[in-house]
Structure 1
């Protein structure tokens, strides 16, 4: 029989860490990658964020709420990356 965790780690920290990584990755792709290659690299970055989400939640070490934590991490990262990429798309429409 396993002992209950007396002081479990905070699950919100892992979700926010994935969101922060998604933000940094999206801004880096938007700034460093040419316009015609942004969408493929955003997909690669999102794939990395999904893998990071699984890794962080597995490191957390609790089975209760695992699916909800991963879903929250991935969904939030997807929305964040989508909003930022829309901003980069609109900025690309402005002639320089």
Structure 2
């Protein structure tokens, strides 16, 4: 019989790490991808964030709450990339 885990590690670090990586991906897409292809690459970036979230939460080593932690990670990455996409859209309509 396995001994219970007395003080499990907090999962918030892995969740926030996925959000930060999503922000970095969004900024890199904004800097290096032409405006016509940004929406498509943001979807690819979100897919990469999903894969990263799964990997980070698997590395966490606890099965309890896995789906919830991955969902929070991906939802946060979706919101981060959405805000960055909104910034791209607003920047494209401002005359410069």
What range describes the TM-score normalised by the shorter chain of this pair?
Answer: over 0.9
Residues paired across the two proteins, number: 96
Residue aligning to 1:47: 47
Residue aligning to 1:38: 38
Deviations 1:10-34 (A, max 9, x none): 2000000000000100011011111
Q: Unpaired runs of 5+ in structure 2?
A: none
Normalised by the size of structure 1, how large is the TM-score? 0.94
C-alpha displacement at 1:40, in angstroms? Answer: 1.0
Residue aligning to 1:18: 18
Normalised by the size of structure 2, how large is the TM-score? 0.94
**What is the aligned-residue RMSD (CA, Å)?**
1.0
Deviates more, 1:1-10 or 1:19-28: 1-10
Q: Unpaired runs of 5+ in structure 1?
A: none
